[in-house]
């Protein structure tokens, strides 16, 4: 991947702490920097921007390879992180510096952003008008080192902040798939329905993928969102597919499960809200985690069929 193929994308989406993680986990994303842009003061400090005197917005600037992850996909990811109808800020954070803006770096990006905004407006997903501005990119000033990768440096505070601000609840309310249960009963097998919709568990060693070794990715059987890769699959000898980690943490959500007299962390898909399985801390990988997942919640897409199935951006995972 040569550098002349790299492009920049700049998005303001409220608190920049919350805008890094959803992008950095996608393929083709080379760098995500938190910073300030859109204002009139050179090299502003965090305090100056928050005082609403500089004209700047909190933003993230993303270096990406459009051949792997096109700008249109970045826009889709962006919309799913924000309340695009809020004219006064984002969630807990109020003021101009927290408003949402797509800063375009080319006429092509401007056209894509405007088309994407119009499509969201026309979708009827939100009752209020889409208020996110689309503006030409200006000089971008990286924020203080303290703010870079904040979610990694201060994970407990970051997670408390995200939850407390209302962002996570908003995303779940507006971006979880609206499911037609009758259609799902007709489309899924009884076991697939029981697992994904009724929190069921399939029998160990008698399921499709427990010892499956082919190269490819595993997606949610209901929504199609990418969940796990064959790279992270390992044989845990438990009788269910086991993975070190998801492909993208933004497509996974956890929920405390106290059923059957146990305390476990349930794993669900973000958009489809499908029950997938549980995560345990007895895995062999660097994080020490074992995502124990029901085969019935997954559809496997072999490497050779990724392009045809609409998952071509993940082919780069399998480059030698």
Give the per-residue pLDDT at 260: 67
pLDDT, average across residues 105-116: 96
Q: For residue range 7-65, what is the model confidence (pLDDT) as tens digits? A: 999 999 999 999 998 898 888 899 999 999 999 999 999 999 999 999 999 999 999 99
Q: E-strand spans in 161-297?
A: 216-220, 226-229, 233-234, 242-243, 252-257, 264-269, 275-280, 290-293
Task: Quote the CA–CA distance of 231 and 13 in Å, as a whole number.
Answer: 32
Residue 50 known to be catalytic: no
- Put simply, whether the predicted model's pTM sits higher than 0.75 gets the answer no
Give the per-residue pLDDT at 2: 44
**Given 18, 50, 238, 292, which residue is catalytic?**
292
Distance from the Cα of residue 197 to its chain's centroid: 22
Angle between helices 167-175 and 155-165 (to 10 degrees): 60
Q: For residue range 285-308, what is the model confidence (pLDDT) as tens digits? A: 778 899 999 999 999 999 999 989
Domains and CATH numbers, the chain: 3-175 (3.30.1060.10), 181-318 (2.170.150.20)
**CB proximity list for 294: less than 8 A, separation 6 or greater:** 195, 200, 201, 202, 207, 240, 241, 275, 276, 277
Give the per-residue pLDDT at 271: 84
Q: How many helices (H) and strands (E) does the chain have?
A: 9, 17
Q: Are 227 and 202 in contact (CB under 8 A)?
A: no
**Given 15, 18, 50, 238, which residue is catalytic?**
15
Is 77 or 248 the better-scoring residue by pLDDT? Answer: 77
């Amino acid at each position: 991947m040569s550098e002349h193929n790299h492009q920049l994308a700049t998005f303001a989406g409220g608190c920049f702490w919350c805008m890094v993680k959803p992008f950095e986990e996608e393929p083709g994303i080379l760098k995500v920097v938190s910073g300030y842009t859109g204002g009139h003061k050179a090299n502003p400090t965090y305090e100056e921007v928050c005082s609403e005197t500089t004209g700047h917005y909190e933003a993230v600037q993303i270096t990406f390879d459009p051949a792997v992850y096109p700008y249109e996909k970045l826009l889709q990811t962006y919309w799913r992180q924000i309340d695009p109808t809020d004219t006064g800020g984002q969630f807990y954070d109020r003021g101009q510096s927290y408003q949402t803006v797509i800063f375009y770096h080319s006429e092509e990006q401007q056209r894509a952003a405007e088309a994407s905004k119009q499509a969201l407006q026309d979708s009827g997903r939100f009752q209020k008008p889409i208020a996110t501005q689309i503006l030409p990119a200006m000089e971008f000033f990286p924020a203080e080192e303290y703010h870079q990768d904040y979610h990694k440096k201060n994970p407990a505070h970051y997670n408390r902040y995200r939850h407390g601000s209302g962002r996570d609840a908003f995303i779940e309310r507006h971006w979880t798939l609206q499911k037609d249960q009758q259609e799902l009963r007709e489309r899924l097998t009884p076991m697939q329905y029981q697992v994904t919709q009724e929190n069921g568990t399939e029998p160990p060693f008698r399921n499709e993928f427990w010892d499956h070794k082919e190269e490819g990715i595993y997606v949610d059987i209901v929504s199609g969102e990418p969940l796990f890769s064959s790279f992270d699959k390992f044989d845990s000898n438990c009788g269910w597919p086991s993975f070190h980690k998801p492909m993208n943490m933004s497509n996974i959500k956890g929920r405390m499960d106290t059923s059957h007299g146990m305390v476990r962390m349930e794993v669900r898909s973000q958009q489809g809200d499908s029950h997938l399985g549980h995560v345990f801390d007895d895995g062999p990988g660097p994080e020490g985690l074992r995502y124990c997942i029901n085969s019935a919640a997954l559809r496997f897409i072999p490497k050779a069929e990724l392009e045809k199935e609409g998952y071509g951006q993940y082919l780069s995972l399998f480059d030698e």
